[in-house]
Amino acid sequence: MIDARISFDPKPRSGLISANTLYRRMSENGAAATMIWKKWEKYYDEGLLVMRLTLGLGFIYFHGWSKLMGGPERWERLGGAVSNIGIDFGHTFFGFMAAFSETVAALCIALGLFFQPMLALLSFTMILAVLSHVASGKGNPGNAFKFAGVSLGLIFTGPGKYSLDAWLQRWLEARRGDSDQSNGAEEK
């Protein structure tokens, strides 16, 4: 039985084991923790679906929809935040793009459609929001920072198999397979 008391000191006091020793013992014995993680690996795509839906629909409901429906006056005010980081032009455009990324891009993220480009757009928007909050000293940049991190991280994972991108890829591959077979039949 493994002692539950763990020390992160490389030379632990008596009665304690180091974290490295615990990890080595768990790995050698095929410990339950390793088995639990292996069991959950098969739900990777379901986890991505939950993350996509939560991030995308949450952005639409809590952030983007009201900004998008606010029109040019709201976009001008929203885009004016970039003046805090030295951009003194195109405030309406920047405001519209922020509203677009928090609504339309967020919907695409939830659906898993054009996933990586939409996440890049949302990440850029959140990075600008962080910089604007820090430069102005108004508001808390924490949420924008977390959203930027999650968005950037999801770019590397892809949308998963329960997405429109995956469905389109399967459909295109099936179509290419059909056209390859029909081309082969015509050549004979």
Domain of 18? 6-30
**60 in the same domain as 112:** yes
**139 in the same domain as 46:** yes
Percent of the chain with pLDDT over 90: 61
Of 53-62, 79-88, 101-110, 171-180, the least confident: 171-180
CA distance 160 to 116: 12
Looking at residue 113, its pLDDT comes to 97
* 57 has a pLDDT exceeding 70: yes
**67 in the same domain as 24:** no
Residues sharing a CB contact under 8 Å with residue 129, sequence separation 6 or more, in sequence order: 81, 98, 141, 144, 148
Would you call 67 exposed, middle or buried from its count of C-beta atoms within 10 A (0-12, 13-18, 19+)?
buried
CB-CB contact of 84 with 116 (8 Å): no
> How many domains would you assign to the chain?
2
* 163 has a pLDDT exceeding 60: yes
Residue at 113 is within a domain:
yes
**97 in the same domain as 17:** no
Of 18-22, 46-50, 61-65, 152-156, the least confident: 18-22
Phi, psi (deg, nearest 5) at residue 160: 90, 175
Residue at 70 is within a domain:
yes
The stretch 172-185 carries a mean pLDDT of 74
Query: Sign of the CA dihedral 62, 115, 80, 66?
Result: negative
Looking at residue 85, its pLDDT comes to 84
* 12 has a pLDDT exceeding 60: no
* 135 has a pLDDT exceeding 80: yes
Residue at 177 is within a domain:
no
43 versus 14: which is more confidently predicted? 43
Looking at residue 1, its pLDDT comes to 46
Own/partner contacts of 73-79, CB < 8 Å, gap of 24 or more, are 74/99, 75/99
**123 in the same domain as 74:** yes
The stretch 53-72 carries a mean pLDDT of 95
**pLDDT averaged over the chain?**
84
**98 in the same domain as 21:** no
* 26 has a pLDDT exceeding 50: yes
Residue at 188 is within a domain:
no
**142 in the same domain as 66:** yes
